[in-house]
Structure 1
Amino acid sequence: MELRHLRYFIAVAEEGSLTLAAERRLHTAQPSLSRQIRDLELEVGAQLLIRNSRGIELTPAGRAFLDHARLALAQVEVAGEAARRAAQVAKPSFVLGFLTGHEVTWLPEALRILRDDQSNIEVIVHSQLSPDLARGLLQGKLDVAFLRREDQVPGLAFKFLAKEPLVVLLPSDHRLAKHDAIRPQDIPRETFISVPKTTSPALRAVIDDYAARTGIDLTPDQEVDNISMAISMIVSTRGLALLPLYARNLLPPSVVSRPLQGEAPMIDLVIGYNRANTSSLLKVFLSKVDDLIARGSGSIS
């Protein structure tokens, strides 16, 4: 079994289509990809994929194999990253990842903690979507990430950091902006801007759960991948969005935030790291998470 077989299988499983996996991810011909998948199934000794009119579905064996295949590739990436770092003669480095926007609150405190122990340290910062941060941790490209708790990511560990309420974002001159708080039942009457399940699964789950709990329809009229796109869409459509409280750190004057009336939906922010990461700096950082929470929590409210 070769690593390329694992990569091909994961691409097909995630795209749900041999054609899309071949064209978008692997840049290869579909017949060749089909042969590679058949070779993998023969070597594994079980059918991993079912091909039907809707595309590709994983068999029970395929679902079990997928988690292990992802972990195997992640371990290879970690090994390669560790080797590259070891080959570099440079000062110690520590790579931090942030769910875009959270660096405003948490980066200064994270830097203070890291440099309390070692001033001669190179800190590298990435800002990405939560699923991308999880992949970066698995691949050994990040030491620590401030992200959502991503399910079904073997090899990662999470430490709870904070809970954030969701707030309503809307144009500053919108009629509802005059209110101190927004009634849930007012939201479905407006253009509703939300996030896709593919790029923000944790946030979308919280929004959908809130809709079910309050009995309102929050079917998105538009979906956006990040806060910048959300702001642009709010301004252009004069719509409303539900986003975590930290989003207000990034708002222009044309967009404001308002709390929800009643019990607001909450979403967790966690610190994630790879269990296989043996960095001494990571151990120091994790030992001071409580201090980080105490320092950073005052900046959230």
Structure 2
Amino acid sequence: MARRTMPVASHPDTPACDDEVTSPTLDARRLTCFIAVAETLHFRKAAERLRLAQPALSQQIRRLEEELGCQLLRRDRRRVELTPAGWALLEAGRRALAQLSHAAEAAQRTAAGQVSLLRVGFLSPAAFALVPEVLSRLRAEHPEVHLMLREADSTTLLEEVRLGLLDVAFVRGPVSAPGVRIDTLHREPLVLVLPSGHRLAKRARVPLARLADEPFIGFPRETAPSLHDAMTGLCLEAGFAPTFVSEAGEWYTIVSLVAAGLGCAILPESVRTFTRDGAVYRAIEGPSRHVELAIARGPKPPGPALRACLRIVSALTSVDVS
């Protein structure tokens, strides 16, 4: 059998095997041997299951324990039992072998032309509306397409599209990136997120100027430049520069910080679908700014899976992205 290695996560409640925690890699064959012994608690029965000589099986277990630097099994002439470290490895090892088998099967099916791989990047809250509908229709109409999903900020997604690590990504605009085709799908207004006990929380529409002295929470500009600039520009138009007391990389973290009373926020309207006790969404009185949801892809002609995805996006948005 060819030698393959994989990382196996440790159980959070299990003490470290040695004083210094390391990150070993595990041989898939030795891990298979260990799982057989752990499940049967009997070396002879495990050897028969694996069609392996019992001394060879014992040697594989000894080498595995040496590599990890800890005892996995307690054994004597009458019985075999798992140590706490052995229980942890059994739990994580089963998952690791299943994932390895799934990965090998996916590679073989893709190579045989039975499956088309589509790598899709997206950011929240785009995941609330368009993206799930696109992926649902794609799965229903093209079950042969295997989806690999990646959630990240727009800056990261655009770079991964440029590098060819993603086939397509749904990002926040307006934005541009060299070597990447970007099509705007729709625009949405910005809304205020206020603590539910805020003095203006009972108003349906809030004049932004009334928040000039309030602390704000937002995205770092390096991860969400278009949204950060739209929010800042909106405040400047209202006569003040926002004071950011905290920044977070995820919208739900921002809403949670607002709910905790740490400040106010301005976010895309689609965030309204996320309800959080302690936070309310309010329209901005007067002129507002909009942010865009856009689709990004590389310059190469799309393959069958990406073409199918683009056709569905065009049908749902009435925007020609072919």
- Structure 2 unaligned residues grouped into runs of 5+: 1-106
- Structure 1 unaligned residues grouped into runs of 5+: 1-82, 296-301
- Aligned residue for 1:160? 184
> Residue 209 in 1 paired to residue 233 in 2?
yes
- Aligned residue for 2:281? 257
Q: Displacement of 1:89 after TM fit?
A: 6.6
- Aligned residue for 1:278? 302
Contact between 1:157 and 1:273, CA under 8 Å: does it hold in 2?
A: yes
Q: Displacement of 1:117 after TM fit?
A: 4.0
Contact between 1:140 and 1:277, CA under 8 Å: does it hold in 2?
A: no
- Aligned residue for 2:9? none
Q: 1:169 aligns with which of 193, 199, 217?
A: 193
Contact between 1:99 and 1:129, CA under 8 Å: does it hold in 2?
A: yes
- Aligned residue for 2:94? none
- Aligned residue for 1:143? 167
Q: Could you tell me which amino acid in structure 2 is paired with residue 146 of structure 1?
A: F
Higher relative contact order (Cα pairs below 8 Å, separated by 6+ residues) = 1
- Of 261-270 and 222-231, deviating more is 222-231
Kindly provide the CA deviation profile for residues 159-204 of structure 1, in whole angstroms up to 9, marking residues without a partner as x: 1111111100111222211111111111222221122211111111
Q: Could you tell me which amino acid in structure 2 is paired with residue 218 of structure 1?
A: P
Aligned residue pairs, count: 213
Q: Displacement of 1:137 after TM fit?
A: 1.1
> Residue 241 in 1 paired to residue 265 in 2?
yes
Kindly provide the CA deviation profile for residues 214-255 of structure 1, in whole angstroms up to 9, marking residues without a partner as x: 222213222222213212321334411001111222231221
Structure 2 Cα separation of the partners of residues 87 and 162 of structure 1: 37
Secondary structure, in 3 states, of the residue corresponding to 2:272? Answer: helix
Q: Which has the larger radius of gyration?
A: 2
Kindly provide the CA deviation profile for residues 92-132 of structure 1, in whole angstroms up to 9, marking residues without a partner as x: 12122111222121233212442454222222222211111
Structure 1 pair 150/87, CA: closer, same or farther in 2 (3 Å)?
Answer: farther
Q: Could you tell me which amino acid in structure 1 is paired with residue 225 of structure 2?
A: P
Structure 2 Cα separation of the partners of residues 221 and 212 of structure 1: 17
Give the % identical residues: 28
- Aligned residue for 2:79? none
Structure 2 Cα separation of the partners of residues 264 and 150 of structure 1: 16
* Deviation beyond 4 Å, 4+ runs, structure 1: 83-90
Root-mean-square deviation over aligned CA pairs:
2.6
TM-score (norm 2): 0.60
Secondary structure, in 3 states, of the residue corresponding to 1:286? Answer: helix
Structure 2 Cα separation of the partners of residues 278 and 111 of structure 1: 17
Structure 1 Cα separation of the partners of residues 174 and 198 of structure 2: 35
